[in-house]
Chains A and B, each alone.
Chain A
Amino acid sequence: MSGVRLEKLSKTFGATRAVREVDLVIPDGEFTVFVGPSGCGKTTTLNLIAGLETPTSGDIYIGADRVTDWEPRDRNLGMVFQSLALFPHMSVFDNIGFPLRLRRLPAAEIAARVAAVARTVRIDHLLDKRPATLSGGEAQRVALARTIIVQPAVFLMDEPLSSLDAKLRVEMRTELKRLHASLRATFVYVTHDQAEAMTMADRIVVMHGGVVQQVGPPLVLYNDPVNRFVAGFFGVPAMNFLEGELADGRFMAAPISVPVGLRRAVGSATLGVRPEHVRVTSGDEGWPATVNLVEPLGDETLVFLDHGGPASLIAKMHADEPIAAGDRRRFTFNPDKLLCFDGGTGERIRP
C-alpha cells in the first residue's frame, strides 16, 4: 500500500552531486536500511523522501502518489532524527502530543493517545519531564513515541541510535525490530554502521558517492557482493584484498597462486578473502607467513599474518588453537569462498 519508489532521483548541492540517478523500489512493510560511509548520499536520499530537500531531478512516489513536490507534512511520514530533535521547551507529554495538537484533536483524546503510546514504549512515568533531564535511552523512546503516535505509513530514521552507548544501541536495535514487526509499516533506516544494517534490515541499500552500489538481503550482500566496495564494507574485520594477476583460471600474487575457476584472463585483479576463510595450517600445506599480531576476542582469535605483501592478512581462528606473535606458520584459503574483482574498476569478475 505505502511502499516508496524513487525514479532517477538526483540531488546536487552546488558542484557536489550528492545523489545520482537513484532508482529504487522499497516494498510496503519492508525494513530497508541505507548504508554507506559519511557523505555517500544516504541521508540526503532520506531527506528527499521526507520532503526536507527538493530533488534536482527525478521523482518520488509514496504508495500510489507522486509526492515529489509535496510538503513534508502532506506525506504521512514519521521521522526520527540523529539528534532526536526533541523540543527542549516542551515537556515529554507536549513533545509526544505535538503532532496531535497540530491536527487540532480534542485535549482529552490527545491525553488518552499520549498515555497509550507512552505505555507501549515504557515512558509513562516521564511525561512531566523536560527533554534535557532524560537519559539517552529515555530520549530515544520519547522520539519514537512522538513518531508512532500518528501511525504513519512510512517511518524514516536517520541514524537514530548513534547517540547511544554501545550496549544500549544493541538493545534498541532489537526493540526497533520488534516495533517494526508489530506496526507492519515501511521502515527506511539510514546508518553508517554495517553491523546495524546487517542485524536489522530485510534489505540493505549500499550507497557510495551518491550512487546505489547494490541492493539485497544482508547475507546476499555479505556472500555475493557486486564490487570491491560492497565486499569491503561488510564484515568485521574487513575482507582481505590481495592485488595480483588473473591467468589460466588462477589468481597469482607470488608466492600465492590459487585456482579461482575463471576462464577469462583479464590481467590485473584483486582477490577478496574474508578472515574466516583464511586457514592457518599446522602442516607444510600453503604459503609461509610470520604471525605479527594476535588479538584474542574470547570465542575467536584474530591473527595478523605477514606474508610479504604490502598489508597483513587477517585470519579468524578458533580461540583454543595455540598461536603467538612471532610464530612461523603457513596459510591457505577456503577455495569455494574466493572472490575476484577487476583490478581497475573494482567490479566483481564472475565465471
Chain B
Amino acid sequence: MKTRGAFALSRHAVLTCWTLVTLFPIYWMLMTSFKHSGEWVTWPPRWLPHAPTLENYRAVLAPGTSTFELGRQTLKVLKPLWDSLLVAGVSSLVAVALGSALAYSWARFGTGGPRYPYNLLTIRMVPPIVIAVPFVVYYVTLRLLDTYAGLILVYVATSLPYVIWMMLAFIDDVPIELERAARVMGASRFRVVGTIVLPLVASGLVVTFLFVFILNWSELLLAMTLTNTEVSTIPITLNKFQSANEGRAYGPQAAIGTIATLPVVVLGFAIQKHLVRGFSFGLLRK
C-alpha cells in the first residue's frame, strides 16, 4: 500500500510539473497582452502586469485610437481574423466531407487499391516549402494567387491525408453487419450511410474537424507564400508586428495570440462531449 501511495504521489508530481510546463507559454502570452511596453522584456520578469492595460488590444483592434504606433504601418486584425475563420473553416469542412467519403469508400469497397491510404500519406512526407513554390507558379497562371479559393484549395489538399486516416479509424469501428442488416431491411446505400454510419461516426467527424481546423488556423508557410494583400491570415499578421525601429511588438503580438486562441478554445468547449467520445476509439460494442 505504501509503495502504491508513493507511486501515485510521484506520478501526480510529474504530471503537475508537466502541466505547468505546457501551460506556461499560454500564461505568459496572456499576461504580456495586458502589459505596458516597458514591462514586455524587463529583467527580472514581472509575473503579473504592474498596471494592467488594454492598450495592446486597442493597438490591434482599433489602430487609429491607440497611443502605440508601430512605425508608419497601420495593421488591422479584424480582417485577418475573418479571413482565417473563413479559410480555415471552409477548407476544414470541405476536407472533412471529401476525406470521410474517401475513407468510407476505401474501408468498404477498397477504392484505389490496398495501398491507397499509404500513398496519400506520402504527400505529408514532403516539407510544405517544396510544394509551396510550384504552387505559386500554378496559381499565377490560374489567377488563384492571393484569393480565398486558392488558399482554401491548398488547405483542403494538405488536410485530406489527416482526415482520411482519422476517419478510417472511426469507420473501421462501425461493424459491417450493421450496414448489411440495414441493407437487407430495405435501405439503399445512401440511406445506410445517412442513418447508420454518420450517426455512429459523428464524434469522429467532430474531432477530425477540430484537428484539421487547428492545423489550418495556425498554418503560416503556405499562407505567406500564396497570399499578399487581398487575403491575410492571423499567423501572417502576427508575424508583421515588428519593425526596424521598434523591434518586436511583443504586447500586440500577445494580444493577437490571445485573440487567435479564443476561437479554438470556444470550439473545443462547444464540442467537449464529442471530444471525450471521439478520442476513446472503439466506443461501439461489437
B186 interfacial by beta-carbon distance below 8 Å? yes
* B185 contacts A50, C-beta separation under 8 Å: no
Q: A73 contacts which of B177, B185, B196, B285 (Cβ < 8 Å)? A: B185
| Contacts A87-B196, A88-B285; A98 near B177 (Cβ below 8 A) | no
Q: Do the beta carbons of A78 and B184 come within 8 Å of each other? A: yes
Whether B181 pairs with A132 at a CB distance below 8 angstroms is no
From known contacts A82-B177, A85-B177, infer whether A73 and B184 are also in contact, taking CB-CB under 8 Å: yes
In the assembled complex, the Cα of A72 lies from the Cα of B188 at a distance in Å of: 9
Establish whether residues B186 and A102, one from each chain, have CB atoms under 8 Å apart when the complex forms. Answer: yes
- Chain B CB within 8 A of A79 CB: yes
Chain B residues whose CB sits within 8 angstroms of the CB of A102 once the complex forms = 185-187, 191
* CB within 8 Å for A79 and B181 given contacts A87-B196, A89-B200, A132-B285: yes
Quick check: B199 and A72 within 8 Å, CB to CB? no
Contact check, A52 vs B185: say whether CB atoms are below 8 A apart.
no
B180 within 8 A of A: yes
Min CB distance B50 to A, Å, is 55
**A258 lies within 8 A of chain B by Cβ:** no
Is B175 interfacial (CB-CB < 8 Å)? yes
Using a Cβ–Cβ cut-off of 8 Å, how many residues does chain A contribute to the interface with B?
25
Nearest chain-A residue to B180 (Cβ)? Answer: A52
In the complex, residue of chain B having the shortest beta-carbon distance to the beta carbon of A99: B185
Residues of A within 8 A of B214 (CB): none
A330 within 8 A of B: no
Cross-chain contact of B185 among A82, A83, A146 (Cβ < 8 A): A146
Cβ-defined contact, B187 with A73, below 8 A: yes
CB pair A79–B186 under 8 Å, yes or no, is: no
Known: A82-B177, A85-B175. A73 touches B284 (CB 8 A): no
A71: chain B residues within 8 A (beta carbon): 183, 188
Residue of B nearest to A83 (CB): B177
In the assembled complex, A188 has its CB within 8 A of some CB on chain B: no
Contact between B200 and A88, CB atoms less than 8 A apart:
yes
Let me know if B129 is at the binding interface, CB within 8 A.
no
Contact B186 A99 (CB under 8 A): yes
Assembled-state Cα–Cα distance A102/B183 (Å): 10
Which A residues are in CB contact (< 8 Å) with B177? 81-83, 85
Complex contacts, A78 vs chain B, CB 8 Å: 184
List of A residues within 8 angstroms of B183 by Cβ:
51-52, 71-73
Complexed CA–CA distance, A301 and B185 (Å): 48
Q: How far is the CA of A85 from the CA of B187 in the complex (A)?
A: 14
With a cutoff of 8 Å between Cβ atoms, the chain B residues found around residue A103 in the complex are: 186
Contacts of A72 in B (CB 8 A): 180, 183-184
Question: Which of B175, B178, B184 contacts A50 (CB under 8 A)?
Answer: B184
CB distance from B146 to the nearest CB of A (A): 45
B72 at the interface (CB under 8 A from A): no
A158 (CB) vs chain B CBs: closest residue: B177
* Chain B residues, CB < 8 A from A99: 185-186
A9 part of interface (Cβ distance < 8 Å): no
Contacts of A88 in B (CB 8 A): 178, 200, 284-285
Residue interface mask B159-188, A partner, CB < 8 A = 1: 000000000000000010110111111111
With both chains docked as a complex, state the minimum distance between the C-beta of A23 and any C-beta of chain B, in angstroms: 24
Residue B273 interfacial (CB < 8 Å): no
Q: Does B4 contact A (CB under 8 A)?
A: no
CB contacts (< 8 Å) of A85 on chain B: these are 175, 177-178, 180-181
CB distance from B274 to the nearest CB of A (A): 14
Which of A51, A75, A82, A83: most chain B CB closer than 10 A? A83
B175 x A83 contact (CB < 8 A): yes
Which residues of chain B (144-165) have a CB below 8 Å from chain A?
A: none
Q: Is the CB of A52 within 8 A of B186?
A: no
Q: Determine how close the nearest CB of chain B comes to the CB of A149; give it in whole angstroms.
A: 9
Closest B residue to A78 by beta carbon equals B184
- CB pair B175–A77 under 8 Å, yes or no, is no
> Which of these, A52, A82, A87, A156, contacts B178 with CB under 8 Å?
A87
B2 at interface, CB cutoff 8 A: no
B11 on the A face (CB < 8 A): no
A150, CB-defined interface residue at 8 Å: yes
Nearest CB of B to A84, in Å = 8
Enumerate chain A residues within 8 angstroms of B186, measured Cβ to Cβ.
73, 99, 102-103, 150
B115 CB within 8 Å of chain A? no
Complex interface residues of chain A between 86 and 116 (CB less than 8 A to chain B): 87-89, 98-99, 102-103
Tell me, rounded to whole Å, the shortest Cβ–Cβ distance linking A104 to chain B: 10
Min CB gap A70→B, angstroms: 12
A52 touches B184 (CB 8 A): yes
A73 adjacent to B188 (CB under 8 Å): yes
Q: How far is the CB of B197 from chain A (nearest CB, A)?
A: 11
> With A and B bound together, what is the CA distance between A299 and B200 in angstroms?
51
Instruction: Collect the chain A residues with CB atoms within 8 Å of residue B196's CB.
Output: 87
User: Which residues of B have CB within 8 Å of A50?
Assistant: 180, 184
Q: Within the complex, what minimum Cβ distance (angstroms) separates B187 from chain A?
A: 5
A83: B residues at CB distance < 8 A? 175, 177, 286
Chain A, residue nearest B175 (CB)? A83
Whether A77 contacts B184 by the Cβ 8 Å rule is yes
B135 CB to nearest A CB, Å: 41
A32 to chain B, nearest CB (A): 18
CB contacts (< 8 Å) of A150 on chain B: these are 185-186
- The complex places the Cα of A173 from the Cα of B54 at a distance, in Å, of 76
In the bound complex, residues from chain B placing their C-beta under 8 Å from that of A146 are 185
Binding site for B on A (CB under 8 A): 50-52, 71-73, 75, 77-79, 81-83, 85, 87-89, 98-99, 102-103, 132, 146, 150, 156
Nearest 3 A/B pairs, CB to CB: A85-B181, A99-B185, A85-B177
Interface pairs (23), CB distance under 8 Å: A50-B180, A51-B184, A52-B183, A52-B184, A71-B183, A73-B183, A73-B185, A73-B188, A77-B184, A78-B184, A79-B180, A81-B177, A81-B180, A83-B175, A83-B177, A83-B286, A85-B175, A85-B180, A88-B178, A98-B182, A98-B195, A99-B185, A103-B186
